[in-house]
């Protein structure tokens, strides 16, 4: 494949791009802001993300043309899925215009990209229609509790449950379904809600996914005994509503899927801690200020923004991306036990900076 920009042409790999473990670059998760209107206690605790916290300035953020250019080049290198995230991605002004431009991109075979967005749903009632019209296909909504008091204690800004449900309904009526619901479980906080969460979404067409609490960042005071293993989640739901395993819908899928035997839908479990899926990890992440991370647990990212702003042509940007991906040997979750023992206090990026 040849990339042409500014009159120059260079060769690019025509097939996918392998890292050191032969994992191909397939998914790009793009964080469009590091800001959020929630202060979820496990993600942006107020003590750290308070009034004095210094968020990125506007000119530090990748602009929409920069994001689109990066996604276009990524597409030539094998990217097939885009996930827009944050912070809270719907806080980024004009987000629907960005989606519209990303939706115009095509793979080398002329196919559309799969474009999804992860959100706390607070702005969906006002944005869902415009996002759908712009070409967004699906949304994932984060919702960790069905108990009003607990939900507000988790988001820590008194955001009411009813408004999240209004957002979910708005997404569905706009055609952004089936909506996936992400629930992060934390021992002693919401693990007793496993069955009630499952029952609430059973038979609704909304797909609930339970996520193991992860040791991302350095602000959430993570402890292994606060993780609720997915095996326990499946066992708990199965005791009440029998489940059977379902195959993955796409390679590199993070969730293991289980179907209710009585045909009332499915749940997913994302076992980043107890059942690492690094072997099939095809994801790269770009932070809002244009750093490329090849692992959610990385401590440093490659400064793509400088490359984009240096006057580099597309082939040069592609070469930078290619170099980083080819050198990739991340498998943090597989090595977690050993690394945690050795690397106490090691710097790590925050989830609100890099997205999910």
Choose between 184 and 207: whose C-beta lies nearer to ligand SAM.
Answer: 184
- Which residues are CB-neighbours of 108 under 8 A, at least 6 positions away? 1, 14, 75, 76
Query: Which of 183, 189, 295, 315 is in the footprint of ligand SF4 by CB under 6 A?
Result: 295
Q: Under rule CB under 6 A, which residues in 100-119 are in contact with ligand SAM?
A: 118-119
Contact stretch for ligand SF4 (CB under 6 A) within 53-61, 195-203, 256-264, 327-335: 327-335
Contact stretch for ligand SF4 (CB under 6 A) within 40-48, 106-114, 131-139, 311-319: 40-48
Q: Please state the separation of Cα 290 from the chain's center in Å.
A: 16
Total chain residues near ligand SAM (CB under 6 A): 21
Cβ count near 53 (within 10 Å):
12
Choose between 36 and 228: whose C-beta lies nearer to ligand SF4.
Answer: 36
DSSP string, 130-150: HHHHHT--EEEEE---SSHHH
Choose between 100 and 146: whose C-beta lies nearer to ligand SF4.
Answer: 146
The entry of ligand SF4, ligand SAM, none that residue 213 binds, CB within 5 to 8 Å by partner kind: ligand SAM
Query: Which of 72, 331, 348, 349 is in the footprint of ligand SF4 by CB under 6 A?
Result: 331
Choose between 184 and 295: whose C-beta lies nearer to ligand SAM.
Answer: 184
Q: Under rule CB under 6 A, which residues in 82-121 are in contact with ligand SF4?
A: 86-88, 120
Contact stretch for ligand SF4 (CB under 6 A) within 109-117, 292-300, 301-309, 318-326: 292-300
Integer Cα distance of 285 and 63 in angstroms: 16
The entry of ligand SF4, ligand SAM, none that residue 214 binds, CB within 5 to 8 Å by partner kind: ligand SAM
User: Which of 304, 336, 328 has the alpha carbon at shortest distance from 216?
Assistant: 336
User: Which of 89, 19, 68 has the alpha carbon at shortest distance from 354?
Assistant: 89
Q: Helix, strand or coil for residue 52?
A: coil
Query: Which of 44, 90, 176, 227 is in the footprint of ligand SF4 by CB under 6 A?
Result: 44
Integer Cα distance of 197 and 264 in angstroms: 14
Q: Which long-range contacts (CB under 8 A, 24 or more apart) does 308-315 make?
A: 308/62, 308/66, 308/69, 308/70, 309/66, 313/5, 313/6, 313/8, 314/3, 314/4, 314/5, 314/69, 314/72, 314/73, 315/3, 315/5, 315/8, 315/9, 315/10, 315/12
Binding site for ligand SAM (CB under 6 A): 36, 42-43, 85-86, 88, 118-120, 142, 182, 184, 211, 213-214, 216, 220, 351-352, 355-356
Binding site for ligand SF4 (CB under 6 A): 36, 38-40, 43-44, 86-88, 120, 142, 272, 276-278, 281, 283, 295-297, 330-333, 352
């Amino acid at each position: 494949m040849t990339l042409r920009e500014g009159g120059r042409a260079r060769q690019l790999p025509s097939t996918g791009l392998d890292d050191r473990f032969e994992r191909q670059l397939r998914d790009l998760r793009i964080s469009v802001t590091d800001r959020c209107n929630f202060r979820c206690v496990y993600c942006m605790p107020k003590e750290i993300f308070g009034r004095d916290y210094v968020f990125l300035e506007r000119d530090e953020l990748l602009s929409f043309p920069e994001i689109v250019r990066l996604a276009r080049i990524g597409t030539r290198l094998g990217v097939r899925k885009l996930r827009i995230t944050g912070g809270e991605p719907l806080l980024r002004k004009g987000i629907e215009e960005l989606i519209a431009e990303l939706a115009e991109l095509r793979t080398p075979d002329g196919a559309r990209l799969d474009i999804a967005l992860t959100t706390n749903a607070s702005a969906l009632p006002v944005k869902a229609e415009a996002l759908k019209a712009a070409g967004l296909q699906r949304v994932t909504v984060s919702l960790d509790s069905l108990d009003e008091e607990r939900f507000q204690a988790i988001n820590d800004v008194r955001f009411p449950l009813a408004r999240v449900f209004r957002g979910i309904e708005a997404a569905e009526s706009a055609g952004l379904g089936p909506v996936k619901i992400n629930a992060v479980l934390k021992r002693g906080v919401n693990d007793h809600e496993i069955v009630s969460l499952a029952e609430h979404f059973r038979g609704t067409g909304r797909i609930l996914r339970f996520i193991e609490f992860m040791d991302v960042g350095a602000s959430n005071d993570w402890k292994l005994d606060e993780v609720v293993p997915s095996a326990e989640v499946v066992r708990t739901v199965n005791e009440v509503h029998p489940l059977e395993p379902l195959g993955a819908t796409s390679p590199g899928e993070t969730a293991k899927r289980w179907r209710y035997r009585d045909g009332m839908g499915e749940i997913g479990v994302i076992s980043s801690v107890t059942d690492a899926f690094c072997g099939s990890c095809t994801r790269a992440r770009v932070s809002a200020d244009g750093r490329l991370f090849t692992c959610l647990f990385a401590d440093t990212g490659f400064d793509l923004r400088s490359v984009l702003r240096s006057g580099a042509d597309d082939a040069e940007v592609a070469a930078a991306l290619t170099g980083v991906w080819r050198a990739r040997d991340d498998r943090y979750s597989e090595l977690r036990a050993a690394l945690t023992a050795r690397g106490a206090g090691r710097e790590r990026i925050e989830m609100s900076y890099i997205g999910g």
